[in-house]
C-alpha cells in the first residue's frame, strides 16, 4: 500500500523544476496527478514521462483557467485530495528600488500570492469532500529574510500568512494547509546562472544548494497522512540557511 494510493492531486507550474519533481514523487507513491502549467507543451512532456499523470494547461493568473483545471482533475480522478500551489512569478530586481515598476510588482503579487488564493478557493470544496484534503504551497526563504526581489519576497511572506488564516478556516472542515519554504534549488529557472549557484552553495550550512527532490520529499510528507496532525505550519527546506549564520561564523572564527 503506497501513501497516495487512490489520491487525486493537482499541481500548478508543474511543467518543470520543483513542481515536476513533486509530480514524480507523488505519482511514485501511487497518486494520480494533474500536471498543470501555463506552458502546455512543458506540462505535456512532463506528464508523458509519469505513470498516472495527465497534463492540463492552467494559468494561475486567470480565475476561469484555475476553475477549469480543478474541474478537470475532479472529472478525471473522481476526487481531489491534494493541491500543490507551486506556480510563481519573480521579476528582475531593479538595481534601484525607485525604478521598480508597478507592472512587475503587480505581476509577482498576482501570480505568486493571488494565484495560490485562486487555486485554494476553487479546490477547497473538493478537498473538504475528500475527507483527507491537504494544500501544500511552495513559499521561499525570501518570505522570511532579505534575499532580494522585493515583490516576490512580499508575495512569499503573504503566502505564509494565507497558510495560517486558511488553515484555521479549513481545519474544522478536515483540510490541512501547510507551506514549504525552499532555499536555493537548482532548477531550470537558474539556467545560465550556474556560477551564481556555486557561490550560493558556499553559504549553505549543509554545503550545497537544494535539489528539486529535496523539496518534493517535504511536500509529500506534508500532503500525506503522516502529517495528519500538522496544519498551518511553515517548514523551511533550506540546507540550514535561515538558522545558521555561516558568513558570520567564518568572519569571527579564530581557526580559519
Ligand atoms: N528554484 C529555486 O531556487 C527556488 C527557491 C525558493 C523557492 N522556489 C519556489 O519553488 C517553486 C518552483 O520553482 P522552480 O524553480 O521549480 O520554477 P521554474 O521556473 O523552474 O518552473 C516554474 C513553472 O511555472 C510555470 N508558470 C509560470 N507562470 C505560470 C502561471 N501564470 N500559471 C501556471 N504556471 C506558470 C512555468 O511555465 C514553469 O514551468 C516556486 O514557487 C518558487 O518560488 C524556488
pLDDT digits (tens, 9 = 90+) for 75-128: 999 999 999 999 999 998 888 999 999 999 999 999 999 999 999 999 999 999
Answer yes or no: is pLDDT of 215 > 80.
yes
User: Is 135's pLDDT higher than 90?
Assistant: yes
Say if residue 51's pLDDT is above 60.
yes
C-alpha 242 – ligand 1 centre gap (Å): 21
pTM for the whole structure? 0.98
If you average pLDDT over residues 130-145, what whole number do you get? 98
Burial 125-141 (b: 16+ CB within 10 A, else e): ebbeebebbbbbbbbbb
Q: Ligand 1: which residues within 6 Å by Cβ?
A: 12-13, 15-19, 37-39, 42, 58-61, 86-89, 111, 138, 140, 182, 184-185, 187-189
Residue 137: predicted pLDDT: 99
Considering the domain boundaries, does residue 96 fall inside one? yes
pLDDT given for residue 14 in this prediction: 98
CA distance linking residue 115 with residue 184, whole number of Å: 22
Angle at 228 between CA 223 and CA 229, to 5 degrees: 125
Predicted local distance difference test score (pLDDT) of residue 255: 67
Q: Which atom of ligand 1 is nearest to the CA of 65?
A: 32
Q: Considering its fold, how many domains does the chain have in total?
A: 1
**113: in domain:** yes
Cell numbers that stand for 119 in this block: 487555486
Q: What's residue 151's pLDDT?
A: 97
What span, in angstroms and rounded, lies between the C-alpha atoms of 34 and 20? 11
* pLDDT at res. 1: 85
Angle between helix axes 17-28 and 40-48 (nearest 10 degrees) is 30
Residue 229's pLDDT band, with cuts at 50, 70 and 90, is very high
Q: Is residue 142 predicted with pLDDT exceeding 60?
A: yes
CATH at residue 87: 3.40.50.720
The domain containing residue 17 runs over which residues?
Answer: 8-192+212-242
| Runs of H (alpha helix) within 35-132 | 40-48, 63-77, 102-109, 115-130
In a domain? residue 255: no
Could you tell me if residue 120 is inside a domain? Answer: yes
Using most ligand atoms within 8 A of CB, pick from 12, 13, 242 the residue to mutate for ligand 1. Answer: 13
For residue 27, pLDDT over 60 is answered with yes
**Distance between alpha carbon 138 and the CA centroid of its chain, in Å?**
2
Give a yes or no: residue 69 inside a domain. yes
Q: Residue 254: what pLDDT?
A: 76
202, part of any domain = no
Mind telling me the catalytic residues? 152, 156
pLDDT of residue 256: 55
Per-residue pLDDT tens for 167-200?
A: 999 999 999 999 999 999 999 999 999 999 999 9
Average pLDDT over the chain, rounded to an integer: 97
How confident is the model at residue 72, as a pLDDT?
A: 98
Does residue 254 lie within any of the structural domains?
no
CA-CA distances (angstroms) from residue 102 to 108, 117, 133, 242? 10, 21, 36, 29
Write a three-state SS string for 89-109.
Answer: CCCCCCCCHHHCCHHHHHHHH
Query: How does pLDDT run across 145-170, given as a tens digit for each residue?
Result: 999 999 999 999 999 999 999 999 99
Q: How confident is the model at residue 234 (pLDDT cuts 50, 70, 90)?
A: very high
Calculate how far, in angstroms, residue 87's C-alpha sits from the geometric centre of ligand 1.
5
Contact 26, 220 (CB under 8 A): yes
CA of 37 to the centre of ligand 1 (A): 10
Residue 199: inside a domain, yes or no? Answer: no
Query: Which atom belonging to ligand 1 lies closest to the Cα atom of 182?
Result: 6
Q: For residue 39, which atom of ligand 1 is closest to its CA?
A: 37
Average pLDDT rounded to a whole number, residues 8-22: 98
Amino acid at each position: 500500500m503506497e501513501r497516495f494510493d487512490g489520491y487525486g492531486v493537482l499541481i500548478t507550474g508543474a511543467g518543470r523544476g520543483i513542481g515536476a519533481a513533486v509530480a514524480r514523487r507523488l505519482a511514485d507513491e501511487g497518486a494520480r496527478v494533474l500536471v498543470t502549467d501555463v506552458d502546455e507543451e512543458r506540462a505535456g512532456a512532463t506528464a508523458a514521462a509519469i505513470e498516472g499523470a495527465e497534463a492540463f494547461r492552467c494559468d494561475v493568473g486567470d480565475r476561469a483557467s484555475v476553475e477549469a483545471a480543478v474541474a478537470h482533475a475532479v472529472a478525471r480522478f473522481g476526487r481531489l485530495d491534494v493541491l500543490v500551489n507551486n506556480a510563481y512569478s519573480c521579476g528582475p530586481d531593479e538595481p534601484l528600488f525607485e525604478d521598480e515598476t508597478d507592472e512587475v510588482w503587480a505581476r509577482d503579487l498576482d501570480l505568486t500570492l493571488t494565484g495560490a488564493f485562486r487555486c485554494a478557493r476553487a479546490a477547497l470544496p473538493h478537498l473538504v469532500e475528500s475527507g483527507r484534503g491537504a494544500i501544500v504551497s511552495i513559499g521561499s526563504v525570501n518570505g522570511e529574510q532579505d534575499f532580494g526581489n522585493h515583490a516576490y519576497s512580499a508575495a512569499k511572506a503573504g503566502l505564509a500568512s494565507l497558510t495560517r488564516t486558511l488553515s484555521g478556516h479549513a481545519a474544522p472542515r478536515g483540510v490541512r494547509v501547510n507551506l514549504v519554504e525552499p532555499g536555493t534549488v537548482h532548477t531550470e529557472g537558474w539556467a545560465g546562472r550556474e556560477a551564481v549557484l556555486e557561490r550560493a552553495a558556499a553559504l549553505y550550512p549543509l554545503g550545497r544548494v537544494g535539489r528539486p527532490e529535496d523539496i518534493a520529499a517535504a511536500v509529500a510528507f506534508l500532503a500525506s497522512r503522516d502529517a495528519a496532525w500538522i496544519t498551518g505550519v511553515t517548514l523551511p527546506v533550506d540546507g540550514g540557511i535561515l538558522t545558521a549564520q555561516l558568513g558570520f561564523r567564518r568572519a569571527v572564527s579564530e581557526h580559519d
